Amino acid sequence: MIAIVNYDTGNIRSVINALARTGCTDWVYTDDKEVLSKADKVILPGVGEASSAMVKLSERGLDTFIPTLTQPVLGICVGTQLMCESSEEGDTVGMGIFRTKVRRFNPTTIQDDLLSSLKVPHMGWNQIDGLRTPLFSGVGEGAYIYYVHSYYPELCQDTIATTHYINTFSGALGRNNFFGTQFHPEKSGAVGTQILRNFLEL
């Protein structure tokens, strides 16, 4: 059974539809710690603003509970950012699972003639490279995935995929049983479906 964490944020219907494309129909949407602890896999989706999302997790006691989980856990977008040490968005303290910080894109650090094509948020298709771990089995270097974000996890020892936009950042993170994608696998077509299928098979 797959548990999708309920903390009043996230693109839940898109995640459910994406799970269906992998053939998975055994899922539950919950904030119940007992249910989460017994699930085979846990998904922490996220859309929105980091500090308010962390408040929702904290209200349920999930900010300290999620790091104790021992089964595979996948964060998506803001869900991944909350698993980092901190975020510049709302000066948010994260769960500290991944040993990196989340920064805001700053186009002014590049040449002025590129500013017209490099907007924030970073929205649309981009590539992932430097792929590591079984999360990317069957996914080729340079595969295209879908992003919608203004903040990004910095490169670190937990980086398992990179993307370049304004600067190079962690497209995905992995540490022990925890994984996170800054991109949206549920919106990334066949590549995203393969990544989700790989997660379900861990």
Active site residues: 77, 184, 186
Give the 3-state secondary structure of residue 120.
coil
Which uninterrupted H or E stretch holds 102?
strand 101-104
Give the 3-state secondary structure of residue 25.
coil
The letter for the amino acid at 70 is T
Q: Bridge-partner residues for 166, per DSSP?
A: none
Give the 3-state secondary structure of residue 182.
coil
β-strand 41-44 against 159-165: which pairing, if any? unpaired
Angle at 189 between CA 125 and CA 36, to 5 degrees: 105
Cβ–Cβ contacts within 10 Å for residue 124, how many?
11
Rounded distance between C-alpha atoms, residue 124 and residue 144, angstroms? 10
The letter for the amino acid at 145 is I
Q: Bridge-partner residues for 149, per DSSP?
A: 122
